[in-house]
Structures are given as structure tokens and as C-alpha cells.
Amino acid sequence: MEFGHETVVLRRGQRSRLPIIVAVHSTVLGPAVGGCRMWGYARWEDGLRDALRLSEGMTRKCAAAGLSNGGGKTVVVLPADRPLTADERRAALYDVGDIVAEFGGRYLTGPDAGTGVADMGVIGERTEYVFCRPEADGGSGDPSPFTALGVVAALRATCLAMSGSPELAGKRFAVIGAGNVGAQIARQLAAAGAALILSDVDPAKRSLAAELGAEFADPESAVTAEVDVLVPAALGGLLTRELVPRLRCIAVAGAANNQLAEPDVAELLRAGDILWAPDYIANAGGVVNSVSREILGDDPATAVKRIESIADTLTGLFETAARTGITTAAAADALARQRLAAAV
Ligand code: PHE
């Protein structure tokens, strides 16, 4: 982590008594944006580490996507052993809203793993600095279709780089994680005529696979299946030093944040001739849509155009990486760094 964080608030929620972290990594390009994750961790320190890494990722994500925004993230550390009651959840969301309000617009939150549109509506009762409230309340609603749209654009660019054609039909994909975003990626791939393996830790997702004519597999076998593209769409850290030598795909491109368990995994992927679409480039569609609609005041078609330009950004990065012999991760970092340097 090389840029250093501007502000990190770590506080026990006044109402919920839960550990809450709001990490603002950078506001160099503009107000920081980044979702609110509500997740169970063995230790609150793990939640803090997640917030630090994810907020830095948001700085890169926004910079590389050409947004005039910096990166932040909120993590609410849930009890590891039981779900929250509805009252406790509301209390935690109010606590988040109050902390976000203290930033006075220097940080805007939104949905992330474990939160959704309804939760943003609740946070919205405490602060205006929240994206993706229900459309009925004037928000831009569920960002996951837009994240999925951006990932599918990234998948086309990946197919173009690896096979000379952006065509998805006839190619084989393994989608790891059938949550909000993963399920929509799977739907779009199936509709485009791709062959699909779908995987989730929750066996109930088998019915979605059946509906889409996809094969359902447990995560372990899906990850190492022989496919054209592996599509991580669950939590981060999938690509470990141990896993990469066992992969049997040509490329990896997906929606999960922080896919590389260690930075040097980017080198291993390249050494194994596996093309990696940097996660924060491929998965920027949700935040691009939110900023486009809610800050820039764009109409839906303009927002979609911005999201689809993820494909061009990625194609440019693949070319730079191939031409200069650096990893795609290094090429993406250089792009983000360039945009940040231009702003100061
Ligand atoms: N969870 C989104 C991401 O990781 C962040 C987000 C923020 C989405 C604001 C929509 C709006 O990119």
C-alpha cells in the first residue's frame, strides 16, 4: 500500500456497539466513494484490514475509470456467530450514516457485500451522502446490473485479446459466486450463448444453474475447471500462489474486488500465460453508474456508455502490458497513478 490513507475512523457504533471502520484513502481526485460492507470477521482487525485494502482499491478504481472521485470504504464488523436482528441492523446503519455525515461530503457510501438498496435508504435517513437509495426515494437503485454489465464488457475485451474475437458465444466460462452480481453475469453470458459452469457455496443456487442450462459445481472444482475464462464473483483473495499453477483457464476476469491474494500473483499468472483483467477495471460498472447518475446527472444511456468504455480501457491495458512486458496489474496501476499524479 503505497499512497497511504487520508483518514480512518474506527469506532464502536453508538447504537449498535459494533466495530465500524470508515476508511477514506484519497480525495485527491475529488470526494471519496466506496460501499459499506457488513460482514462477519473472526476479529475486528480483519475488518479493518479489509477496509484499508478495499478503500485503496476504490481510489484506483475511480482513477482508472476516469471519475473525479477518490476511494473509501466502510466496514461494519458483524458478530461472527449470529445474524443481526432487524433493530440491530437499523442501529448499525444509523451509526454508519452518522459517521459518513461527519465527513461532510468528503466521503459517500453505497452498497457492498452484505448490504443493499434498502440499507442505503436507511443510511439515507441520517445523511445525504449515500448512493443507490431506492429509486422511489430519488436514488439510482440497485447497482449490481451495472456492475454485471461492465464485467460482461470486460469479458468481451478479454475474449478479444485472447482469441481475436469479442464473441462470447461458444466460449466456456466458470462463474464463481452467484450472488447479486455473479447471478446477473451468468444470466448475460447464458443469453449470449456462452457455455457456463456456475458455482456457489450455497447449494440452493443450483436452481439458477438449471434455469440457465449451466453446469453447477462446487467452488473447488469450478475454479480449476477447463474453461476459457474464470470469472471470480465472490469475495476477494481467490487467486493464491497455490491456486494459480492449478488453473486450467486462458484468462481470469470477474467482479470480485481484490482477487489477488498477494500482489506477486500477477507475475505468476503472466508466467502461466493466463491473461488477468485487473479486478478494479472490470468491476467499476456499479460505481461508474452511481456517480454518473447521481453526481454528474447523466441520463441512463450516457451512464451505460461510460460503463461500456470499460472494454476500451481494458483493451488498452492488455496492449500496454503485451507491448512493454509488464503485468496487466502493473499496467492498470500505472494508469491509476498517472491520473492521480495529473491531479496534484
Ligand atoms: N461496492 C462497490 C464497489 O466495490 C462500491 C459502490 C459504491 C457501488 C457506490 C455503488 C455505489 O465498487
| Residues with catalytic roles | 73
Residue 2 has pLDDT above 70, yes or no: no
Q: Rounded to the nearest 5 degrees, what angle is found at the Cα of 124, between the Cα atoms of 53 and 10?
A: 35
Specify the pTM: 0.94
Mean per-residue pLDDT, 103-130: 97
Closest Cα partner for 179 from 233, 141, 120, 253?
233
Separation CA 131–CA 47 (nearest Å): 22
Question: From ligand 1's centre to the CA of 272, what distance in Å?
Answer: 31
Separation CA 72–CA 24 (nearest Å): 4
Question: From ligand 1's centre to the CA of 324, what distance in Å?
Answer: 31
CB of 257 within 6 A of ligand 1: the answer is yes
Shortest-distance Cα residue to atom 8 of ligand 1: 287
Question: From ligand 1's centre to the CA of 289, what distance in Å?
Answer: 9
Residue 41 has pLDDT above 90, yes or no: yes
Mean per-residue pLDDT, 83-95: 97
Name the residue ranges covered by the structural domains of the chain.
7-57+70-137, 144-283+313-338
Q: What is the CATH number of domain 144-283+313-338?
A: 3.40.50.720
CB of 286 within 6 A of ligand 1: the answer is yes
pLDDT tier, 221 (very low <50, low <70, confident <90, very high otherwise): very high
Question: What does the pLDDT look like over 183-193, one tens digit per residue?
Answer: 999 999 999 99
Please give the pLDDT value at position 1.
46
SS (H, E, C) the chain: CCCCCCEEEEEECCCCCCEEEEEEEECCCCCEECCEEEEECCCHHHHHHHHHHHHHHHHHHHHHCCCCCEEEEEEEEECCCCCCCHHHHHHHHHHHHHHHHHCCCCEEECECCCCCHHHHHHHCCCCCCECCCCHHHCCCCCCHHHHHHHHHHHHHHHHHHHHCCCCCCCCEEEEECCCHHHHHHHHHHHHCCCEEEEECCCHHHHHHHHHHCCEEECHHHHHCCCEEEEEECCCCCCECCCCHHHCCEEEECCCCCCCECCCCHHHHHHHCCCEECCHHHHCCHHHHHHHHHHCCCCCHHHHHHHHHCHHHHHHHHHHHHHHHCCCHHHHHHHHHHHHHHHHC
Return the percentage of the chain with pLDDT > 90, whole number.
Answer: 96
Q: Which fold would CATH assign to domain 7-57+70-137?
A: Rossmann fold (3.40.50)
CB of 113 within 6 A of ligand 1: the answer is no
Residue 47 has pLDDT above 90, yes or no: yes
Question: What does the pLDDT look like over 139-160, one tens digit per residue?
Answer: 999 999 999 999 999 999 999 9
Please give the pLDDT value at position 180.
87
Q: Average the pLDDT over each of 1-5, 250-254, 291-295 and give the range with the smallest value.
A: 1-5
Please give the pLDDT value at position 301.
98
Report the atom number in ligand 1 closest to the C-alpha of 73.
5
Topology agreement, domain 7-57+70-137 and domain 144-283+313-338: yes
Separation CA 303–CA 296 (nearest Å): 9
Please give the pLDDT value at position 9.
98
Mean per-residue pLDDT, 295-300: 96
Q: Cell numbers 494459480 correspond to what residue?
A: 244
Q: Please give the mean pLDDT across all residues of the chain.
A: 96
pLDDT tier, 343 (very low <50, low <70, confident <90, very high otherwise): confident
Separation CA 145–CA 188 (nearest Å): 10
Return the percentage of the chain with pLDDT > 70, whole number.
Answer: 99
Shortest-distance Cα residue to atom 10 of ligand 1: 287
The answer to whether residues 251 and 321 touch, using CB atoms and an 8 Å cutoff, is no
